[in-house]
Amino acid sequence: MPTQDRRGRGDGAPRRRPAAAKTSDKPAAASVEDPVPEDMTADLESQAADFMADNDVWMYGPNAPTVLEMLDRLEEMGPEQARPLALEWQAAPKEGRETARKAARKLIEDDEEIARYLGLAREQVGSWVAVKADYPPYRDAEPDWARLCTQAGEATLDALTSVILEGHLTKPDRAALFEPWFRAVAQMPAGAALSVQDGTPDDEPVDEGKYGPNSAAVADFLNRLWLLAPEQVARLVSGWERTPREALGLAHESLLAVVDEDPEWRDQVRLAQDQLVPWLNGGRLEDASGFMGDTGQAAFRKMAGPAVADAIAALVLGDLLLAEDAIVLYGPWFNLVGAPELTLAEDGDTA
C-alpha cells in the first residue's frame, strides 16, 4: 500500500532558510536571479531513441528496421496467415534455397557480427515457433498446424537471412530465400487476424460461470498461459521461487481453509487447475522440434506447475481470500504478465 509522502509537512521538518534571512559577511548581489534549470526532456528522449536504434543495429545489422517489421508481422500470424507462407515455401525450388543457405553458413563462419545478427533472428523465430506450435486454438483450427507453423518459421528465417545479408549474398541467393515470404505476404490482407487469436471462435458462446464469478479472468489467464515464451516460463519459476516461504505457507493455509468451507468452491479450483494439465504436459513441439532442437521448454513447464496452480487458484477465489494471501499467490504471475486483474475481497468481507 503506498504511503503518504510526509517530507516537509510537520512543524519540526527542516526548511531551507529564505535567501533574505541568510547571514553572510558578503553583501548580497543586486538583481541576481537563480539560474533556470535546462529542460533536458527532449535531449533524454533523443538519447533514448538513439540508444534503441543503435541496439537494434547491434542485434540485427544495418537493416534492423526491416527485420523488426518482419518479426512483428510474424508475431501476428495465425493459421490463416501462416498457411500461405508455408505453402509458398514448400513450392519454392529446394535446390536454390539450399545453395543460398550454404552461402549464408559460410558467411557466419567467417564473420562474428553476421553470426550474431542471424543467431538473434533465429532465436526470435524459434521462440515464435515454440509458443505458437503448441497453442490449442491454433491446433484446433488447423489439424496440420505443428508442421505448417514450423515451415512458416523456416520461411521467415530464410527471408530474414536475405534481408540481413543484403550486400553479402548474390541476387539469386537473396531471391531464393526471400521470394516465398514476399509472395505470401502479398496475399495477406492487412489486419486479417484469425478469430482464434483470442481463443474464442466468433460463433461459439463463452462458457460462463464454471469457475465461479471470476470465470472470465480464469479463461483470460488460460489463454495467456499458452502464449508464454520459454524465457517467460523460466522467469515465472524464478519469481515464484523468490516468494518468501513463510508468506507462501500462510497463503496456502488460507486457500485450504476457504475450499474446505464449501465443496462448490473446491470444485471450481480443481476444475480450473485441471485446465493446466495440457500446458504442463506440452512443450515438446512434436514436428516443431526439428526447427528448435531441445529447448528444455517441457522441463520448465513442469517446474512452473506450482506457480501457475497458485495463480489460478487466487483468480478463482481472490474475492474470498484475505487480500494479502491472494496477492502472495498471484504475485509471481502478475509481476511477469500484468494481466488479468485479480479480484480482491472488500475490506471486512473476510475474517
Percent of the chain scored above 90 by pLDDT?
42
pLDDT tier at 90, thresholds 50, 70, 90? very high
- Is the whole-model pTM more than 0.85? no
Interval 130-158: pLDDT, tens: 888 888 888 888 888 889 999 999 999 99
pLDDT at 2: 35
pLDDT at 140: 84
Q: What is the 3-state secondary structure (H, E, C) of the chain?
A: CCCCCCCCCCCCCCCCCCHHHCCCCCCCCCCCCCCCCCCCHHHHHHHHHHHHHHHHHHHHCCCHHHHHHHHHHHHCCCHHHHHHHHHHHHHCCHHHHHHHHHHHHHHHHHCHHHHHHHHHHHHHHHHHHHHHCCCHHHHHHCCCHHHHHHHHHHHHHHHHHHHHCCCCCCHHHHHHHHHHHHHHHHHCCCCCCCHHHHCCCCCCCCCCCCCCCCHHHHHHHHHHHHCCCHHHHHHHHHHHHCCCHHHHHHHHHHHHHHHHHCHHHHHHHHHHHHCCHHHHHCCCCHHHHHHHCCCCHHHHHHHCHHHHHHHHHHHHHCCCCCHHHHHHHHHHHHHHHCCCCCCCCCCCCCC
**Over residues 34-62, mean pLDDT:** 60
Interval 226-278: pLDDT, tens: 888 888 888 999 999 999 999 999 999 999 999 889 989 999 999 999 888 88
Percent of the chain scored above 70 by pLDDT?
72
pLDDT tier at 33, thresholds 50, 70, 90? low
Q: Range with the lowest mean pLDDT among 6-20, 127-141, 263-277, 302-316?
A: 6-20
Q: Is the pLDDT of residue 202 over 80?
A: no
